[in-house]
Amino acid sequence: MSALQIKKGSTKHSAYNLRPTFSDVQETHTLAVIVDNEPGVLARVIGLFSGRGYNIDSLTVAEVDHTGHTSRITIVTTGTPQVIEQIKAQLGRIVPVHEVHDLTVEGPSVERELALLKVRGAGEKRVEALRLADIFRANAVDSTLDSFIFELTGTPDKIDAFAELMRPLGLVEIARTGVAALSRGS
């Protein structure tokens, strides 16, 4: 307590508010970056993340306008709100970047991911794997006498849940495309 009996940072309306303005809460954000489709652009974007120690949870890149030669990079990253703002500002300063959108902040969005899962099993485990695949609306795209390859499209959480259920049934391998996302509405 100070001589005036005022606690440090006791209220946000105090003239003596000494609370730190930064947050240590980690948030996951989906960023959509429109860039020129030219050699080295992806390396520059990824270099921004690696050079500052930021992690990329998911990365998807594809050309979206053949005539305009632009590509869309969808990045899912995790960080404090200050780190996310810093990432967006630094992405916007890279020369071939046209637009940076934070789909997490801009409103509702649709996120989907494609996964291929190889499951090996026989007997009851094989039947259980097919039953769970039906529940998750996964398609069996390949089948042998001792394994399946399932194709599953959905949110990353849905794919994680399906993979966890397949693990005890004989999950051998998984391949994921990364998140593709668009904001909803006009």
pLDDT tens for 128-144 read 999 999 999 999 999 99
Q: What does the alpha-carbon distance between residue 123 and residue 3 come to, in Å, rounded to a whole number?
A: 77
Q: Do residues 101 and 114 share a domain?
A: no
Neighbouring residues of 1: CB distance < 8 A, sequence distance ≥ 6? 7
Residue 122: per-residue pLDDT = 87
Q: Choose the final residue of a domain: 54, 80, 106.
A: 106
- At 16 the pLDDT is 57
102 and 31 share a domain?
yes
In a domain, residue 6? The reply is: no
Element (H, E) at 116: strand 109-120
Average pLDDT, the chain: 89
Q: Is residue 102 located within the same domain as residue 70?
A: yes
Q: For residue 15, is it within any domain? A: no
Looking up residue 154, the CATH number of its domain turns out to be 3.30.70.1150
Which range (5-9, 51-55, 107-111, 167-171) has the least confidence? 5-9
Q: Domain of 176?
A: 109-183
- Residue 21 DSSP one-character state: S
Q: How far apart are CA 111 and CA 181, in angstroms?
A: 4
pLDDT band at 12; cut points 50, 70, 90: low
- Both 77 and 144 in a single domain? no
Helix/strand/coil for 101: strand
Q: Is the pLDDT of residue 95 over 60?
A: yes
Q: What is the pLDDT of residue 28?
A: 93
- Mean pLDDT score, 164-177: 96
Task: Give the residue from 34, 39, 79 showing the smallest Cα distance to 56.
Answer: 79
Same domain, yes or no: 85 and 143? no
Token pair listed for 148? 């399946």
> Would you state the structure tokens that stand for residue 73, as one six-digit string?
């990079």
Q: Which tokens sit at 157?
A: 């959480």
**Alpha-carbon gap, residue 36 to 60, rounded angstroms:** 15
Distance CA 37, CA 60 (A): 14
Mean pLDDT, residues 23-44 taken together: 92
Lowest mean pLDDT among 10-14, 32-36, 161-165: 10-14
On the question of pLDDT at 118 being above 70, the answer is yes
Q: Is residue 2 part of a domain?
A: no
